[in-house]
Structure 1
Amino acid sequence: MASSGGTGRLRRSGPAVVLLGVAQVLVVFDTTMFAMGLPWIMARAGLTVSGLTWLLTVYSVCFAALPALAAALGEAFGQRRVLTGGLVLSTLAAVVPAVSSDASLLLWSRAVQGIAAAVVTAGALALIDAAHPAGPGRDRALSVHFVVVAAALPAVLLPAVLLLDAADDGGTAFWVQAVASAVLLLLTPVVLTETTPVPGAARRVGSAARWVVPLGFLAWFADWLGNHSVSLETVVLIAVAGALLPSLVAWLGRGERMPELFARLYRQRAAVGAYTVVTLVATCLAGLLLVLSLSLQLLGAMSPLQVGWAMLPAVAGIVLGWLVLPVLAARIGVGFAVAGACAVAAAGFLVLSLRGAAGFGEVVLPLLLVAFGCGVLALPVGFARSGSGARPQGLNASRQLGAGLGASLFPGILTVVQQEEARNATGMKAYRSFVAHGAHDCFQLGVALSLAATVVALLTLTRVAPAPEPEPEPEPGVSGGAPAGTAGSPGS
């Protein structure tokens, strides 16, 4: 995609990275704020546990279903215009929990918020791409953006709890979120330059729209699956199949016969592996944080504020992985580096399954290990330079789908535990025993998914260190290098 001009793009590149990073943090903050405010929402709206589950599910389904369509709309009509629409929806949806207790209106607002989150997530990456010419500057901006998004998951829990504690009621906290979205909306036309629509992109919008239903169905099915007593092996199989879906979106619909399709699958196996690994790792991270938040409160008798502090080691682990894994990938190859990181995450889940999660001392080390492995989420440039053919936009969509799967699968397993407790109704001691059992099943699921990501990385990603790439030469008439939308653009 081309921007409106090389000079303006470079002048706004720094503020653009900051604004788009804040927009992504706000997306994560909304999810966390809503989850932490559920008790207040439940009491105010008179919702049952089933009603709360639907509020969470509809958001996950919309968020996971729309990345391909949001990206196509941005290419067809301009990324800034589509991002602005997403921020408008986010502002309006954030107001609803603050002013209304109607259950149906809350459900619709969560659907709108999921749509807004998908649009903002897809547009932020495309606009970072458009704000930088191809080369080291774009690589650094993409890398920083990916690590900010990954680290935001554990980082925003503490400020969300502090805001809820400081506010008189949950409504005040949601008003703060709405005002923050409105401020970003006002700054968007000042900081960001509109991108030029890609010729012919409008024809691809219809093709992308056809994938909304399959992706949304997958997210819903993951939630349904987690709410039923099925075997761990079945859950792992569904999760791995879901992780392959981003690649299927790119393959199908080209009118190829089956032999040609399998031949292309073999040629593009490294890109398939990269997308699959990122989806699995994002599933593990999103699911772990949700399960730990509940386990530490119910089993460790920790307050939400204490849980927020307990999650901060995950931020350190992700940043450490972001710093170390690119160096390892340059030395030993991205395949070995990613496989090693996923194996470390599997070790962290294994420790949790053996020790439990009833206190800060029990979770800090395994949380660091899992978070270090999740540093894989901050490797868009490493995957691209490995020769895999994986593009940051596709990796972003894979992370988005994985987060939706994790938010459905892991809490769903705990919901089965709640249903068991309701049938048995034998007191708090038995309830905590059920929760501990459900958390153990979740941690075992994390082990299985992390090991699956390890195997995929070893089988598909290159295991030799890449040769250093020469710096791109500036093109005639373009300041600083190739404009976005040329062959060097991930969004092209």
Structure 2
Amino acid sequence: MTSQDQQAALAGPAQPVIVEPATDPAAEARHRRRLAVALALIVTCQLMVVVDGTIVNVALPKITEDLSLSTSGAAWVQVGYSLAFGGLLLLGGRAGDAFGRRRLFVGGLVVFTLASLAAGLAGNAEMLIAARAVQGAGAAFAAPASLALLATTFADGPARHRALGVFSMMAGLGLTLGLILGGLLATASWRWVFFINLPFGAATALLAPRFLKDTPRHSARFDVGGAITSALGVASLAYGFIRAASDGWSDGLTLSAFGAAAVLLVAFALIERGAEQPIVAYRLLGQRTRAAAYTNMLLLGAAMGGVMLYMSVFVQQVLGFSVLRAGLAFLPMAALQFVCARTAPTMMTKLGGKRLTTIGTVMLAGAAVWLVLLDDRSSYPASVLGPLLLFGVGIGLTFMPLNSVILAGLPPQATGSASGLLQCLQQVGSTMGVAVLTTVYGTSLRDSAAHPVPGLSPAAQLRHAWAEGIASAMYVPAALAAAAVVLAVVVIRDPARSAPQQ
């Protein structure tokens, strides 16, 4: 497909792969059951990928002790996964468009599952880090294919909105579920945080060919230059943020990583402008509402990535919760997010995507502002539960309409690329948010050490420093969420208004 063909396709209406169900009641019932199973397979894959991002964090102290990992070795257990996942997401999305999304979905899931087995069996740091990198690579191909399959399986409109509501709901639950499962499984053995993927991955990969209809493959001369520069550029950018979080923004390797990322991503942009079949089609960002939705995904990914990490630190270090109790502390947020995500499709029909996104981002901004008030006298019921409930409402109401805006009006041959870009921005945003919050947190800790509060014991002084540092760091997600509110109010439009611009 030439660049002219691609532009024409992107401008045209989407044609879902799944045909309308037959009028026979029995056939309609079978069709609905088939769609229900297809959605279950898609969200299971997404849930596995999301849970894996948090479940390992909880088990990392036990992994470090059992395998005698150094500080840098322990960090690379997560860094290896993040770099492979973030670096290959754009390529994974485009590969699904070119070679078939079901093929990439099953292939990526098999790689992810086998790598989970290898990680669980790892006897040394090198094997574990290598397995985690392969896990990230598998996830980078499976995750964009899962969202693209959802878009081509469910027609644009109420059916897709309901499916996206379930997808967004499970993705949000995965963050909390990872904390809870990590605490439970790590008490038996840290290896179970990887082995838990095996039955779900195997079952999903085996059932996918039966229940997921494959999308047409498009003739492709693969953009090798774009693939290499995008993978290395995004990986360098992610590593720069990771390095900044641990070694500071003026560190030589941090600056080198950002410099390499800048060169590689500029080269990627130049290559894409002349490519017949680019990794990321520029017209994905040419429509203002879709571009604003992508930007909000980046901003909110940055905001939520840092919040989840540092609120987990707060409830454990300042409030003294155990790992398992800390995971359970996030259950009210997960429950409310579940309820709101279930009702979001109906609310979107009544209010429109713009209003629903605005309400959700206002809730997220309000929750972050509330957390700025944390201190060492804060309690869970009075100071933590309320913001977590607001986060649950905000996540439940925001992510479904943003996903819908990004996927609306795209032809099947562009949904993989669109999904890859979406998840790449979320991953990079999360890494960026953690790095910036860590910088603010670390600066506050150094300031507290230089100016201790008179009369406090060393333990009380430490709790005070932790609380003050986390409260200071919360200004960052508050600012990011506020920017997302502005975009929702000023830029995003409902389809009826923005359609003439496409």
- TM-score above 0.5, yes or no: yes
Instruction: Please say if 1:188 is aligned against 2:180.
Output: no
Which of these residues, 462, 472, 485, is aligned with residue 441 of structure 1? 472
Within-5 A mapping of 1:345-360: 345-356=364-375, 359-360=379-380
Aligned to 1:473: none
Q: Residues 384 and 101 (structure 1 numbering): CA distance in 2 closer, same or farther, change over 3 Å? A: closer
CA 117–269 in structure 1, closer or farther in 2 if over 3 Å, else same: same
> Take 2:495 and 2:293, find their aligned partners in 1: how far apart are those partners?
16
Of residues 355, 360, 364 in structure 1, which corresponds to 2:385?
A: 364
Deviation at 1:351, TM superposition (A): 0.9
Partner of 2:327: 308
Residue equivalent to 2:291: 272
Distance 1:276 1:415, change over 3 A: closer
Question: What amino acid is the match of 1:342?
Answer: T
Q: How far does residue 2 in structure 1 lie from its aligned partner after superposition?
A: 7.6
2:418 aligned with 1:394, yes or no? yes
CA RMSD of aligned residues (A): 4.2
Residue 169 of structure 2 is aligned with which of 147, 162, 166?
A: 147
Tell me, yes or no, if structure 1 residue 108 matches structure 2 residue 127: no
How far does residue 71 in structure 1 lie from its aligned partner after superposition? 1.5
Separation of aligned partners in 2, 1:220 and 1:355: 30
Q: Please give the TM-score of this superposition, normalised by the length of structure 1.
A: 0.77
- Matched with 1:164 is 186
Give, in angstroms, the shift of residue 372 of structure 1: 2.1
**Larger deviation, residues 15-24 vs 4-13:** 4-13
1:484 maps to none
Of 253, 262, 278, the residue aligned with 2:272 is 253
CA contact (8 A) 1:90 1:178 kept: no
- The answer for the alignment partner of 1:339 in structure 2 is 358
Q: Give the stretch that moved more between structures: 104-113 or 433-442.
A: 433-442
Distance 1:191 1:336 in 2: 35
Distance 2:165 2:380 in 1: 30
Given that 1:132 and 1:138 are in contact with CA atoms closer than 8 Å, whether structure 2 keeps it comes out as yes
Q: Report the CA distance between 1:278 and its aligned residue.
A: 1.5
What SS class does the counterpart of residue 195 from structure 1 fall into?
coil
1: CA distance, partners of 2:134 / 2:407: 36
The answer to whether the 8 Å contact 1:282/1:377 transfers is: no
Match status 1:286 vs 2:305: yes
Say yes or no: does 1:26 pair with 2:48.
yes
Cα distance in 2, alignment partners of residues 142 and 270 from structure 1: 18
- Correspondence for 1:479: none
Q: Which has the higher mean CA deviation after the structures are superposed, 387-396 or 87-96?
A: 387-396
User: Residue 198 of structure 2: which of 167, 170, 178 is its match?
Assistant: 178
| Equivalent position amino acid for 1:180 in 2 | F
Shifted more, 351-360 versus 112-121: the winner is 351-360
Note if contact 2:18-2:154 (Cα within 8 Å) is conserved in structure 1: no
Partner of 2:492: 461
- Aligned 8 A contact 2:375 2:464 in 1: no
Distance across 1 between alignment mates of 2:137 and 2:37: 25
TM-score, normalised by the number of residues in structure 2 = 0.76
Query: What pairs with 1:203-222 in structure 2 (closer than 5 Å)?
Result: 203-204=222-223, 207-222=226-241
1:213-266 alpha-carbon deviations (Å, 9 max, x no partner): 2222221122223335569xxxxxxx9xx9xx99x989983359xxxxxx9899
Partner in structure 1 of residue 278 of structure 2: none
Q: Between the two proteins, what is the percent identity of the paired residues?
A: 27
Tell me, yes or no, if structure 1 residue 297 matches structure 2 residue 316: yes
Does 1:226 pair with 2:257?
Answer: no
Distance 1:385 1:102 in 2: 43
In structure 2, C-alpha distance between the alignment counterparts of 1:13 and 1:398, rounded to whole Å:
24
Residues 1:52 and 2:101 aligned together:
no
Of residues 410, 421, 429 in structure 2, which corresponds to 1:405?
429
Q: Does 1:80 align with 2:99?
A: no
After TM superposition, give the deviation of residue 133 of structure 1 in Å.
Answer: 4.4
The structural deviation recorded for 1:184 is 2.5
Code of the aligned partner of 1:136: P
Output one character per residue of 1:436-456: Cα deviation in whole Å (capped at 9) or x when no partner: 233223311111111121222
Gaps of 5+ in 2: 1-14, 22-29, 251-257, 276-281, 451-456
* Deviation sequence 1:43-62 (CA, Å, 0-9, x none): 01212333222222222222
Alignment coverage as a number of residue pairs = 450
For 2:27, the equivalent position in structure 1 comes to none
CA distance in 2, matches of 1:189, 1:328: 34
Q: Distance in 1 between matches of 2:323 and 2:474?
A: 21
Question: Aligned in 2, Cα 1:213/1:194: closer, same or farther, shift over 3 Å?
Answer: same
Return 220-229 or 447-456, whichever deviates more: 220-229
Partner residue of 2:25? none
